[in-house]
Copies of this chain bind each other. A is one copy, B any other.
Amino acid sequence: MTVSNSSSENFRFALRVYWEDTDAGGVVFYANYLKFFERARTEWLRALGFSQEPMRSVERAMFVVSETAVRYLQPARLDDWLEITVRLVEQGRASLAVAQQAWRAGPGTAPQLLAEGTIRIGCVDVQTFKPRRIPAGILERLGA
């Protein structure tokens, strides 16, 4: 997979690196890639037709992250334009896993892979945090 891959199986979300994302090393603080990955997953779900706020208030269901494995390859810097990809790699009734990558993009530069990882997500009840089935509507769309 490359960032220029037009395959429909990879969702892509672009963002800018701001001061808030960086640390005194002059680069993006490593924990913030998890934020970037989450923004992309949120927009991926939205593109599939789901907002997490109604899912929470109406269905009383919520996605929580149960496992993350991330490799940090190259640092991103202030003002960088990043593209974050999302690819569904595993799907169960109450959980799913996505592979995600962060690429440095932008005009006139070859795309460069900065970080990549796998994020495992479970669906839980908003009150008890006990695992529960992913709402049927979402399961259907994911399967499509």
Chain A interface residues (CB < 8 Å from chain B)? 16, 18-20, 22-27, 29-32, 34-35, 38-39, 42-43, 51-53, 56, 62, 64-72, 74-75, 77-79, 126, 129
Pairwise interchain contact B69-A69, C-beta atoms closer than 8 A: yes
Q: A24-B22, A26-B24, A29-B20 are in contact. Are A51 and B79 (CB under 8 A)?
A: yes
Pairwise interchain contact A53-B78, C-beta atoms closer than 8 A: yes
Q: List 20 extra interface pairs beyond A31-B34, A67-B71, A68-B70, CB under 8 A.
A: A19-B25, A19-B52, A20-B38, A22-B24, A24-B25, A24-B27, A24-B78, A25-B56, A30-B34, A30-B68, A42-B79, A51-B79, A53-B77, A64-B75, A66-B72, A67-B69, A67-B70, A68-B68, A74-B129, A75-B129
**Number of chain copies forming the complex:** 4
Residues of chain B within 8 A (CB-CB) of A22 are: 23-24
Give the 3 A-B residue pairs with the shortest CB-CB distance, closest first.
A22-B24, A31-B34, A53-B79
Residues of chain B within 8 A (CB-CB) of A68 are: 30, 68-70, 72
Q: Is the interface of A mostly helix, strand, loop or mixed?
A: mixed
A74 nearest in chain B by CB position: B129
- Bound-complex Cα distance A107 to B85 (A): 27
